[in-house]
Amino acid sequence: MRLFFLVALTMLAFAANSVLNRLALVDGAAGPAAFAALRLVSGAVVLAALVAARGAMRWRPESAAGPLSLLAYVLGFSFAYVSLDAGIGALILFGGVQVTMFVGALLRQEAVPPLRWAGAALAFGGLVYLMWPSGAAAVPLGGASLMLLAALGWGIYSLLGAGAADPLATTARNFVWAVPLGVLPALFVWDGMSGAGALLAISSGAVTSGLGYALWYRVLPALPATVAAVAQLTVPVLALLGGMVFLGEAASWRFAVAAAMVLGGVALSLYRKSGSSAS
Q: Which burial class, exposed, middle or buried, applies to 199 when counting CB atoms under 10 A from its CB (0-12, 13-18, 19+)?
A: middle
Give CA–CA dist 41/49, Å, rounded.
12
Is 279 a member of any domain?
Answer: no
Is 155 a member of any domain?
Answer: yes
User: Which neighbouring-strand residues pair with 30?
Assistant: 193
The pLDDT value recorded for residue 274 is 42
| Secondary structure letter of residue 193 according to DSSP | B
Check if the beta carbon of residue 76 is closer than 8 Å to that of residue 142.
Answer: no
Please report how the helices 141-160 and 65-80 are oriented relative to each other, as an axis angle in degrees rounded to 10.
Answer: 150
Segments in the chain below pLDDT 70: 56, 86, 134-138, 246-247, 249, 272-279
Q: Give the gyration radius of the chain's Cα atoms.
A: 18
Residues whose CB falls within 8 Å of the CB of residue 271, separated by 6 or more in sequence, listed in order: 115, 119
- Domain range for residue 135? 2-270
Is 82 a member of any domain?
Answer: yes
The pLDDT value recorded for residue 135 is 60
The pLDDT value recorded for residue 217 is 94
Is 275 a member of any domain?
Answer: no
Is 49 a member of any domain?
Answer: yes
- Number of domains within the chain: 1
Is 99 a member of any domain?
Answer: yes
The pLDDT value recorded for residue 228 is 93
Is 239 a member of any domain?
Answer: yes
The pLDDT value recorded for residue 205 is 94
Is 276 a member of any domain?
Answer: no
